[in-house]
Amino acid sequence: MTAQLVLASSSPRRRELLLRIASSFTAFAPEIDETPRPWENPFRLSMRLAREKALAAAGRFPGAFVIGSDTSAALDGKTLGKPHGLEDFMDFFPKLSGRVHTVVTAVALVSPGGEITERICSVDVEMAAFTADDALRYWRTGEPADKAAGYAVQGIGARFIRKIDGSPTALVGLPLPETAELLAGAGFFDA
């Protein structure tokens, strides 16, 4: 019997990525509070949220391998969340123009026995120069609304990116080499 794999996410991007290394899994998005805590930098925030997602889904799917992942971004040491409307987006997205920011993606795996293993990746992203009008036109596409740092590298947002230094799959939301390593270490591919 094949071991059950659960992806604790509603992200279509994460589902597409996981299909590259696992042919079958269940996607389930647990409800967790994603509010950053005052002391959390993007690394701590992403790691905590990935772990909480995995643990919440593991409670619903006992005996399964459960993956949780979370992505956040930072500019000048400050976390950039997902924009909560146009005003929020226009407050931070234009500041990325012509600059480098860091995107952090954490992945946590809860194995059938309840063990938790984790990995974290950071990617430096250099943005091309763009105007506030460019940002506003991008907002109107609808793409930035639910994205860390307000853009999607795999979508229209790619036009704003000049250079990526790090894992492209981590930038999209699920670092595949690290995820495969966690699954292999927990015995998923042998199950």
Which token pair is 54? 């995995």
Mean pLDDT (10-residue bins), the chain, 191 residues: 86 95 95 91 95 97 97 91 92 96 97 97 97 97 92 94 96 96 94 66
pLDDT of residue 146: 83
pLDDT of residue 1: 45
| 122, β-bridge pairs | 104
Catalytic site residue from 70, 76, 124, 134:
70
Four-point Cα dihedral 93, 159, 168, 43, nearest 10: 0
Q: Which of 56, 9, 1, 46 shows the shortest CA–CA distance to 149? A: 46
| CATH number of the domain where residue 40 is located | 3.90.950.10
Give the separation between CA 41 and CA 37, rounded to whole angstroms: 9
Residue 70 a catalytic site member: yes
Written as one string, the DSSP assignment of 166-183 is S-HHHHHT--HHHHHHHH
Residue 57 burial (C-beta neighbours within 10 Å; 0-12, 13-18, 19+): buried
Backbone φ and ψ for 56, nearest 5 degrees, come out as -65, -45
pLDDT of residue 2: 62
Residue 177 lies in domain: 5-190
Question: How many distinct structural domains can be found in the chain?
Answer: 1
Q: The whole model's pTM is what?
A: 0.92
DSSP strand pairing (65-75 vs 5-8): parallel
